[in-house]
Chain A
């Protein structure tokens, strides 16, 4: 068994709304191996996105411990966490979230502005990232000049620009048509298979979840099911994903 990249130990996440305390994650424990491709599924409000945010270091648990690689992200300060995110995590959003006034090239270059790389090095790394997602010919296009699928590919290029070990994706195909969604899933598979990225993906879509190698099903903030792939290609498969999504 490969070493775990992510260790989540008895994590509780609570929000306070007015006087009411909402428990979104309730003592969750989970380990994700390095190089794994995990799909997080579950009904709305089950805590999928909250868990993803905690793993990515953009939110903090109320209790419990989260370790990613050598870093205990649950114990890091704001500044250190920001630096850690810039070096170790690539985030892919459902709505791409590109900066509209920047070209594809400039959007991908954004996280590299936080590094000590020279302009030339940044250019090379940005071009490489755009090349990986197949958009070398769209570098100077603004987001409004791109299709939804292309925008999401630019967002993926931005996520891999600093070459992080971990990619977290929140419904990456949720806003795309079937064809574009399929292209994005192929790209994520490639990043996992060819570049060895560890991917944690939140999805409602069984087709997307089927591409993962492991499927974690959350419900009401607790781990309901944790399924590992048995298929030839190491994927969960559509039947298993659909069954879990349907609550079996």
Chain B
């Protein structure tokens, strides 16, 4: 520890270079942590564990193929199924099709059962009864209400794209929960405007009594409808979410590759700085060894400097990330990517990744210059004076 002041003073020797190197660690590390958080958020369970008790039954071929609504009594009465609700993706447009006005719009057939399945949310304005009692009622996420400045009783119009209709709906209730970026309305509103879709649903959303039921029931349901004209595929909520993520492509590989490239770039920049610093100090290090500094101490001195540089950069990068993450989440909530914001939080494993990258950069960037400095014969180092 006696050489710590010397390490810190060496860092300040070329202030601009050190500052630029630190900055080159801070920003990429911030990006690495952000990408890591996005990736983790995509895999996360925003339901807070409640998703372990929920299943989704969809058409075996694709989510775009509809299922008969008549499956409802058979599914609901299965032992282990405590509740079920039929849902459909409406899509459509609010105001226009621009990205800034994108948010999820779902229709619900069994509105009175909906909040018993989706039970991690709570109604914070209006009431469930107001929404259930009005066939043109709209249940809106709190963030979305805030984003558009809607009020209870306000008329909202959605122009369909899958369905060639325009729905005039009234905001009746506001919910708060992990994902507050969507709206839910009565499927009856679509059926009234377009009778030919009556009797069909997009998927069934089930609640089970236990985790064991969650594991057992999918096989049971799929076997039940295997030889029907609309065979099913039943999966856990997590598997269902993973399907949506996989539609974006191999996100994990993409984000992982970008993170690795950024990590290597930081390493190269830091290694270059350390190599320059060690090269400029060949004589000085030889003098320290003349004074009695061992090879190990010289190794520690150069590696210590590399670690100090990466730790300062890494610490600032992680600090900046922790500081800005809530703002980033807030920004995402109010964007078309709002649904992804639900899973975003400070993940310990992402912080560990940040620390890991910082440690690896400190070690690898300083290793070669440190070993070279320690191994160089003293007389060779002293000769560079002349």
Chain A residues packing against B (C-beta within 8 Å)? 53, 56, 58-59, 78-79, 82-83, 85-87, 91, 93-95, 97, 99-102, 106, 110-111, 113-114, 158
Q: Is B9 a contact partner of A102 (Cβ separation < 8 A)?
A: yes
Beyond the given A53-B379, A85-B290, A114-B293, please list 14 additional residue pairs across the A-B interface where CB-CB is below 8 A: A59-B378, A59-B379, A79-B294, A82-B295, A83-B292, A91-B290, A93-B287, A94-B385, A95-B385, A101-B10, A110-B6, A110-B288, A113-B2, A158-B291
Q: Is A97 a contact partner of B385 (Cβ separation < 8 A)?
A: yes
B385 to chain A, nearest CB (A): 5
Pick the residue among A53, A94, A99, A114 that contacts B292 (CB under 8 A): A114
Q: How far is the CA of A230 from the CA of B295 in the complex (A)?
A: 45
B296 to chain A, nearest CB (A): 8
Residue of B nearest to A101 (CB): B9
Cβ of B13 under 8 Å from chain A:
yes
Pick the residue among A78, A106, A111 that contacts B291 (CB under 8 A): A111
Contact string against A for B residues 8-41, beta-carbon threshold 8 Å, 1 for contact and 0 otherwise: 0110110000000000000000000000000000
A1 to chain B, nearest CB (A): 31
Q: Is A58 a contact partner of B378 (Cβ separation < 8 A)?
A: yes
A165 to chain B, nearest CB (A): 15
Cβ of B226 under 8 Å from chain A:
no
Pick the residue among B292, B379, B385 that contacts A82 (CB under 8 A): B292
Pick the residue among B12, B288, B290 that contacts A101 (CB under 8 A): B12
Contact of A58 with B293 at beta-carbon distance under 8 Å, contacts A95-B385, A100-B13, A102-B6 already known: no
Residue of B nearest to A88 (CB): B292
Cβ of B284 under 8 Å from chain A:
yes
Q: Is the interface of B mostly helix, strand, loop or mixed?
A: helix
Q: Is A113 a contact partner of B385 (Cβ separation < 8 A)?
A: no
Q: Which residues of A contact B283 (CB under 8 A)?
A: 97
Cβ of B372 under 8 Å from chain A:
no
Q: How far is the CA of A94 from the CA of B385 in the complex (A)?
A: 9
Q: Is B6 a contact partner of A78 (Cβ separation < 8 A)?
A: no
Q: How far is the CA of A97 from the CA of B289 in the complex (A)?
A: 12
Cβ of B3 under 8 Å from chain A:
yes
Q: Which residues of B contact A78 (CB under 8 A)?
A: 294-295
Q: How far is the CA of A99 from the CA of B18 in the complex (A)?
A: 18
Residue of B nearest to A90 (CB): B291
B280-312 contacts to A (CB < 8 Å): 283-284, 287-295, 297
Q: Is A114 a contact partner of B291 (Cβ separation < 8 A)?
A: yes
Contact-size category for B: 20 to 34
Contact of A85 with B284 at beta-carbon distance under 8 Å, contacts A59-B378, A93-B385, A102-B9 already known: no
Q: How far is the CA of A153 from the CA of B114 in the complex (A)?
A: 87
Q: How far is the CA of A111 from the CA of B379 in the complex (A)?
A: 19
Can you list 13 pairs linking A and B with CB atoms under 8 Å apart? A58-B290, A59-B378, A59-B379, A78-B295, A83-B292, A85-B292, A99-B284, A102-B6, A102-B9, A110-B6, A110-B288, A111-B291, A114-B293
Residue of B nearest to A162 (CB): B292
Q: How far is the CA of A198 from the CA of B377 in the complex (A)?
A: 26
Q: Which residues of A contact B379 (CB under 8 A)?
A: 53, 58-59
Contact of A110 with B378 at beta-carbon distance under 8 Å, contacts A97-B283, A97-B284, A101-B12 already known: no
Residue of B nearest to A83 (CB): B292
The 5 closest A-B pairs by CB, nearest first: A86-B292, A101-B9, A113-B2, A97-B287, A58-B378
Q: How far is the CA of A33 from the CA of B252 in the complex (A)?
A: 75
Q: Which residues of A contact B378 (CB under 8 A)?
A: 53, 58-59
Contact string against A for B residues 364-381, beta-carbon threshold 8 Å, 1 for contact and 0 otherwise: 000000000000011100
B42-86 contacts to A (CB < 8 Å): none
Q: How far is the CA of A84 from the CA of B379 in the complex (A)?
A: 17
Q: How far is the CA of A165 from the CA of B6 in the complex (A)?
A: 27
B257 to chain A, nearest CB (A): 40
Q: Which residues of B contact A91 (CB under 8 A)?
A: 290-291
Q: Is B6 a contact partner of A85 (Cβ separation < 8 A)?
A: no
B119-166 contacts to A (CB < 8 Å): none
Residue of B nearest to A82 (CB): B294
Q: Which residues of A contact B297 (CB under 8 A)?
A: 114
Q: Which residues of A contact B290 (CB under 8 A)?
A: 56, 58, 85, 91
Q: How far is the CA of A208 from the CA of B248 in the complex (A)?
A: 81
Q: Which of A59, A95, A113 counts the most chain B CB atoms within 10 A?
A: A113
Q: Which residues of A contact B287 (CB under 8 A)?
A: 93, 97, 99
Q: How far is the CA of A56 from the CA of B378 in the complex (A)?
A: 11
Q: How far is the CA of A86 from the CA of B6 in the complex (A)?
A: 18
Residue of A nearest to B289 (CB): A82
Q: Which residues of A contact B6 (CB under 8 A)?
A: 99, 102, 110
A15 to chain B, nearest CB (A): 10
B306 to chain A, nearest CB (A): 17
A134 to chain B, nearest CB (A): 22
Q: Is B291 a contact partner of A85 (Cβ separation < 8 A)?
A: yes
B47 to chain A, nearest CB (A): 56
A112 to chain B, nearest CB (A): 9
Q: Which of B3, B6, B291 counts the most chain A CB atoms within 10 A?
A: B291
Q: How far is the CA of A86 from the CA of B295 in the complex (A)?
A: 13
A110 to chain B, nearest CB (A): 6
Q: How far is the CA of A83 from the CA of B296 in the complex (A)?
A: 12
Q: How far is the CA of A195 from the CA of B89 in the complex (A)?
A: 95
